[in-house]
Structure 1
Amino acid sequence: MNSTQPNQILIVDDNPTNIKVLFDCLKSAGYRVFIAQSGESALEKLAVITPDLILLDVMMPGIDGFETCQRLKNIPNNQNIPVIFMTALNETEHKVKAFSLGAVDYITKPFQQEEVLARVNVHLQLCNLNQELRSMNEQLEKRVAQRTARLSYTLEQMQVMQLQLIQNEKMSALGNLVAGVAHEINNPISFVAGNIFPAQEYLKDLFKLIALYQQEYPQPSAVIQKTIKSIDLEYIKKDFPELLNSMEIGIERITNISHSLRSFARSDTAKKQLFDIHEGLDSTLLILKHRLKANEDRPEIEVIKNYGELPLIECLPSPINQVFMNILANAIDALEEANRGRSFAEIKAKPNCITVTTNLSQDEQYAIISIKDNGTGMPQHIKKQIFEYLYTTKAAGKGTGLGLAISYKIIVDEHQGKIEVNSQPGAWSEFIITIPVMASKGVS
């Protein structure tokens, strides 16, 4: 209600005399008065105006006052307009019916002008107070909603900060561990690798000397002949070079492992740099190799690599590797869950498998990495919550609910990419990662 404008009152009555008396009385009291001589006319006027109060006659031709009241109360904009019935009927049942239809008062004809004014003033004041109360409630609800939104935002920011701290601490600890292991491996490996070539040269010289002895002394003594036979000199001459070659291959493999470890937990992540996604996937699979190997419960988990041609991707290598670690570790967990209750032979008949597929988008602006397992899959309600903070389907003590939430933040927030999950319950799950080839791009 606008306090600077006079209150508007609608009189609904088919009696011209009653209308004139009420009109003059209310007009002289400062109210703005509208008139309707039937229920139908009143409903038409209510489509155009919104009065502050309605004086409604009960007995009218056409639709009576009770039906008129019922119809207008069914219109949302009219529900709060106070209605005062006017009638010569004085039976209790009519009063009860009037109040049940939403009326606020009941004036019996013939009415006194002073009584009408008094009742109108009281109900308009009550209406004003009710409107002020509704307005205050709306303001209060708005303030509560705003404060709730601020608190929710603050909580979300705190969760993001917590995720970031956990991520940084985890990668820092892993980086220190890997750096220490790589350092301890590199020193002895460098020593052995540096001495393989001289050892091969020394061996050639020794074999050359033995051949010269055999040429100069074709008939050695019985003791020498016995020793040659006991040590199987011919076998040594054949096997020793192969032994050194095997050692050289083993050293090369250990060097590659050390390189993969350092690649996985690269600490130089202050800014984005060009990175080989396939190298990151391979180093992550190498670290998880102990979980992929066969054991007494199941055969080896097969890893199928469908690597497409990808350019170097501008990204943060260590966090990207962490995403691969989280998703691949979850895939292994899903396969182990699917193996429960199945025998070794049953698993061998339908082997556990993880398929890693990489390719470029059609416009060659994005790298797409798919990691799919043939485990238990997941229902729709889990798919909807899978990236939520602290959400986990694992038993207590086996999952924190942080891995995929951190992965989502790394891909979406830090790389402007996209991470999605597809699944068929009881059959498979697939995580699809899409990241820009160049950091200036972003997935819409």
Structure 2
Amino acid sequence: MMKDQDADMQGETIRVGMLHSLSGTMAISEVSLLDAGMMAIAEINVCEHSSSDRPWSDSEVKLLGAVADQLAMAIDQAKLYEQQRIQAAIATAQAEQLQQALHNLQQTQDQLVQTEKLSVLGQLLAGVAHEINNPVSFIHGNITFVKEYISDLLGMLKLYQKHYPNPVLPIQKYAQAIELDFLMEDLPEMLSSMQIGADRVREIVQSLRNFSRRDHVKIQTVNIHEGLDGTLVILKNKLKGTADRPSIQVFKEYGHLPQVDCYPGQLNQVFMNILSNAIDALSETHGKWMKNGTNPQKGDRHLEIPTITIRTELVNDRSVVIQIADNGPGMTELVKTRLFEEFFTTKPVGKGTGLGLSISYKIVVEKHQGVLKCESTLGQGTVFFIEIPVHQAKLSSVVKA
């Protein structure tokens, strides 16, 4: 302790001596300040109030020393504050970067999950369609021959009845037991129903196969209308009437389109997303009206039958335009501006991922060099426009479907 006090007193004596020596004609004094190993230089301008030279008094020296001490402390505090401010700014920036990184990671994870779901769904549909297709093809192909054989047998039986109207008693009893007349009338109708059912199953299987095509590498030249029809087949159950709304009517106004170069599986996914959203919008609108139990007046838009209209046309022999319109509730301007944003949805939690339209936009615009846009007015329905070129000039590998 004694040594430290001696050192402090010695330093103070040296500093006072230096200040005493800075007299006479000098108008500017530079005081070097050493504090905690940090060098701070304070330039103190001392203006002489008298024209004659005079030595500085002890009080002036002490005052100047006190000012120098305060300046040194102020400089140190200013430096410390600046360091803390910089560190706080760095910490804030790092926190924002981390938050953005976490947000991006969450988005990427959700996209990967959705993509994996779609991939698994496509593989499942393809597998189911393949397994069903073989026996259905066998049944469908043989029903025609069965109908011909049955027709021949019934013709032979009628010919027999014509020439032998009174067969022996055992034959008469057996004919009555099996209700031969009813059987001869009902069997052709039953076969016709089986034919219709087999055609229906075959149509569904073909729709599943078309919808689930995994064509990431090569595009194919296909009929766009087949993709639309196949998607409608898959959504047929959702189009049926419920307790909340009547059946949704679908009107198809197909133009004459050429074969189109595209990724059919991905394009079918776009059709599925847009049509599903239209069905949900119509279900919500008409469901609310019916649940509220109101008595609409004549001319009320809710008296309209829920309708989806699909139009296709060829534009300038270079592009195909598909319009999917509904007479649902429409959208606000705010919703329209965010429609194709990832993870944006107006559906309740758990009923929408907010990825359907953003994925559809990428498929149409990025994969097919096309255009996807929406026109909607609140209370007047919604129309989606899908435009893609007939030929994908930038993609050289094309497979005929």
TM range, normalised to the smaller chain? 0.5 to 0.7
CA distance in 1, matches of 2:352, 2:378: 21
CA distance in 1, matches of 2:175, 2:206: 44
Q: 1:234 — aligned with what?
A: 181
Q: 2:304 — aligned with what?
A: 350
Contact persistence 1:421–1:430 (CA under 8 A):
yes
- TM-aligned CA distance change 1:309 to 1:441, over 3 Å: farther
Q: 1:322 — aligned with what?
A: 269
Contact persistence 2:245–2:287 (CA under 8 A):
no
Alignment of 1:398 with 2:345, yes or no, is no
Q: 2:364 — aligned with what?
A: 411
Q: How far is 1:388 from its partner?
A: 0.7
Secondary structure class of the residue paired with 2:201: helix
Alignment of 1:379 with 2:332, yes or no, is yes
CA distance in 2, matches of 1:194, 1:356: 33
Secondary structure class of the residue paired with 2:321: strand
Q: How far is 1:302 from its partner?
A: 0.9
Question: For 1:297-343, what per-residue CA distance to the aligned partner results, in whole angstroms no more than 9, with x for missing partners?
Answer: 22110111121122122111111111111111111111122124312
Question: For 1:118-158, what per-residue CA distance to the aligned partner results, in whole angstroms no more than 9, with x for missing partners?
Answer: xxxxxxxxxxxxxxxxxxx9xxx9xx99xx99x97x89986
Q: How far is 1:292 from its partner?
A: 0.4
Contact persistence 2:289–2:302 (CA under 8 A):
no
Q: 1:41 — aligned with what?
A: none
By relative contact order (CA 8 Å, sep 6+), the higher-ranking structure is 2
Question: C-alpha root-mean-square deviation of aligned residues, in Å?
Answer: 3.9
Q: Which residue identity is paired with 1:180?
A: G
Q: How far is 1:229 from its partner?
A: 4.1
Q: Which residue identity is paired with 1:392?
A: T
CA distance in 1, matches of 2:360, 2:169: 74
Q: 2:210 — aligned with what?
A: 263
Q: Which residue identity is paired with 2:328?
A: G
Contact persistence 1:360–1:367 (CA under 8 A):
yes
Q: Which residue identity is paired with 1:418?
A: V
Out of 305, 315, 319, the residue aligned to residue 252 of structure 2 is 305
Question: For 1:50-70, what per-residue CA distance to the aligned partner results, in whole angstroms no more than 9, with x for missing partners?
Answer: xxxxxxxxxxxxxxxxxxxxx
Q: Which residue identity is paired with 2:276?
A: A
Alignment of 1:190 with 2:137, yes or no, is yes
Alignment of 1:332 with 2:279, yes or no, is yes
Query: Which residues of 2 match residues 31-46 of structure 1 at below 5 A?
Result: none
Contact persistence 2:375–2:384 (CA under 8 A):
yes
Secondary structure class of the residue paired with 1:342: helix
- TM-aligned CA distance change 1:276 to 1:157, over 3 Å: farther
* Percent of paired sites with the same residue: 48
- TM-aligned CA distance change 1:328 to 1:230, over 3 Å: same
Q: How far is 1:201 from its partner?
A: 4.5
- TM-aligned CA distance change 1:318 to 1:252, over 3 Å: same
Query: Which residues of 2 match residues 419-434 of structure 1 at below 5 A?
Result: 419-434=372-387
Contact persistence 1:171–1:318 (CA under 8 A):
no
TM normalised by structure 1 equals 0.60
CA distance in 1, matches of 2:103, 2:325: 30
Question: For 1:232-276, what per-residue CA distance to the aligned partner results, in whole angstroms no more than 9, with x for missing partners?
Answer: 433432332232233123212211111111111112332222122
How many residues align structurally?
310
Q: 2:38 — aligned with what?
A: none
Q: Which residue identity is paired with 1:365?
A: R
Contact persistence 1:298–1:348 (CA under 8 A):
no
Contact persistence 1:308–1:357 (CA under 8 A):
yes
Contact persistence 1:301–1:354 (CA under 8 A):
yes
Q: 1:99 — aligned with what?
A: none
- TM-aligned CA distance change 1:236 to 1:311, over 3 Å: same
CA distance in 2, matches of 1:172, 1:421: 27
CA distance in 1, matches of 2:226, 2:143: 28
CA distance in 1, matches of 2:217, 2:270: 17
Q: How far is 1:178 from its partner?
A: 1.2
Secondary structure class of the residue paired with 1:339: helix
Q: How far is 1:381 from its partner?
A: 1.0
Alignment of 1:360 with 2:307, yes or no, is no
CA distance in 1, matches of 2:329, 2:373: 17
- TM-aligned CA distance change 1:216 to 1:249, over 3 Å: same
Alignment of 1:225 with 2:178, yes or no, is no
Q: 1:173 — aligned with what?
A: 120
Q: 2:288 — aligned with what?
A: 341
Alignment of 1:287 with 2:234, yes or no, is yes
Question: For 1:336-366, what per-residue CA distance to the aligned partner results, in whole angstroms no more than 9, with x for missing partners?
Answer: 22124312886983111111111122x2222
- TM-aligned CA distance change 1:338 to 1:231, over 3 Å: same
Question: For 1:173-231, what per-residue CA distance to the aligned partner results, in whole angstroms no more than 9, with x for missing partners?
Answer: 12222122213322332332343244334424533553464366442234433443454
Q: How far is 1:390 from its partner?
A: 0.8
Q: Which residue identity is paired with 2:342?
A: Y
Deviates more, 1:272-281 or 1:319-328: 272-281
- TM-aligned CA distance change 1:157 to 1:310, over 3 Å: farther
CA distance in 2, matches of 1:242, 1:227: 23
Q: How far is 1:166 from its partner?
A: 4.4
